[in-house]
Amino acid sequence: MNNLPTFCFAMAMLTLFAACKSEPIGGKLEGSYWTLSAAKLSGEAANLAKDSEITLVFSEGKLNGTAPCNSYFAGYATNGSTINLSELGATKRFCDEMEQENTYLSLLSKAQAYSVNGDKLDVFSPNGQLSFVRMKNDKAEATRFSQGVGKLATQFPMLDAGDVLHLHPILRVDSPGNYPYKGTLIDTSFYKYFSTDVRDVWMGSGGEVMAVGQYGGFFICRVPGRYVSSDIAIFWIKDSEMQHVETVAWAWCDEGWCNQQDAWLTDTDKDGRTDVVQHYTLTDDRGKIKEERLTLLRQTEDGELLPDNTAKPEKDKFKMAKI
């Protein structure tokens, strides 16, 4: 009987602990960025290497991130506070922190429930728990860029063309020969990183878009034109998307007339900014020029390309390609 108060006190404490134990509450995951702060395996805290960082990103119904050794990815779906992962995969690089990485991926792959509490995320699996803190803004922005338009930008090699890059169109896209701007096909899944004005046109036209390269701060593409991927357009990255600047080189022939425009990217006034010289001709079926003009688009301090009507480019310096 003397032990009854002690027993009742212990039972009361257990009841209180059970009542206070929080249940998973779910929350918004889409578009969120996280960094692992702690992990528990079978009730014991897992050791996390101080010089390694594990990240977790939720985007467009998929998750991805970096572990100490590899990048990983999976599909995910939520229903209330439950979460289910599908087709978890990872790259296959080996490093000294493989044990830590394997523990993390094992817990994540068996995730069943989660809770978002402000800047904290807890993911629960049958044998443990992963705790995350929301990624700092600058880190999240860098991650967003590298996984979005930055990933698209890596498909554009730097072009070594000296002080002037001459861009011209192509008519025989099915037989380009030694045409210098063949480029690499951009998968349509990357179109979402281009501005809407060109993306909608490309999706409607069915033409292919080719990544040619980078030069003078511009990203150069071969884009659908009158003869399918025959035109050259320049883009730049602003507001986390690839924005169309100008279609600088193009050509087409119709009813005995041929139009062609070539372009040159160069710093005409040596101010450190790349300008665009354009040379246009309209010729008849005998090759006689009926109309011709040279124009200069000068890049301003804020990056805009504006016509310089006072400039008079020398025709001999900007000879058009024979196509």
Domain boundaries along the sequence of the chain: 22-147, 150-317
The pLDDT of residue 79 is 96
- Mean pLDDT over 68-83 rounds to 95
- Mean pLDDT over 91-108 rounds to 92
Opening angle at CA 223, ends 219 and 225, nearest 5: 145
Per-residue pLDDT at 64 exceeds 70? yes
Of the pLDDT bands very low, low, confident and very high (cuts 50, 70, 90), residue 174 is confident
23-32, 45-54, 63-72, 90-99: range with lowest mean pLDDT: 45-54
The pLDDT of residue 108 is 96
Cα–Cα distance measured from residue 158 to residue 176, given in angstroms and rounded to the nearest whole number:
21
The pLDDT of residue 46 is 83
- Mean pLDDT over 15-19 rounds to 36
More confident of the two residues 4 and 220: 220
The pLDDT of residue 12 is 39
The pLDDT of residue 22 is 67
Fold topology of 22-147: Lipocalin (2.40.128)
- Mean pLDDT over 127-150 rounds to 93
- Mean pLDDT over 230-240 rounds to 93
Cα–Cα distance measured from residue 151 to residue 232, given in angstroms and rounded to the nearest whole number:
21
More confident of the two residues 226 and 237: 237
The pLDDT of residue 2 is 47
More confident of the two residues 116 and 287: 116
Opening angle at CA 156, ends 153 and 160, nearest 5: 135
More confident of the two residues 21 and 263: 263
Contact 308, 297 (CB under 8 A): yes
According to the 3-state scheme, what is the secondary structure of the chain?
Answer: CCCHHHHHHHHHHHHHHHHHCCCCCECCCCCCEEEEEEEEECCEECCCCCCCCCEEEEECCEEEEECCCCEEEEEEEEECCEEEEEEEEECCCCCCCHHHHHHHHHHHHCCCEEEEECCEEEEEECCEEEEEEECCHHHHHHHHHHHCHHHHHCCCCECCCCCEEEECCCCCCCCCCCCCCCCEECCHHHHHHECHHHHHHHHHHCCCCEEEEEECCEEEEEECCCCCCCEEEEEEEECCEEEEEEEEEEEEEECCEEEEEEEEEECCCCCCCCEEEEEEEEEECCCCEEEEEEEEEEECCCCCEEECCCCCCCHHHCCCCCC
- Mean pLDDT over 44-69 rounds to 89
Cα–Cα distance measured from residue 4 to residue 291, given in angstroms and rounded to the nearest whole number:
107
Q: Mean pLDDT over all residues of the chain?
A: 89
Work out the percent of the chain whose per-residue pLDDT is above 70.
93
Contact 256, 283 (CB under 8 A): no
The pLDDT of residue 156 is 97
Strand partners, 184: 211
| Contact partners, residue 116, CB within 8 Å, separation at least 6 | 25, 26, 27, 28, 29, 32
Is the pTM higher than 0.85? The answer reads: no
The pLDDT of residue 166 is 97
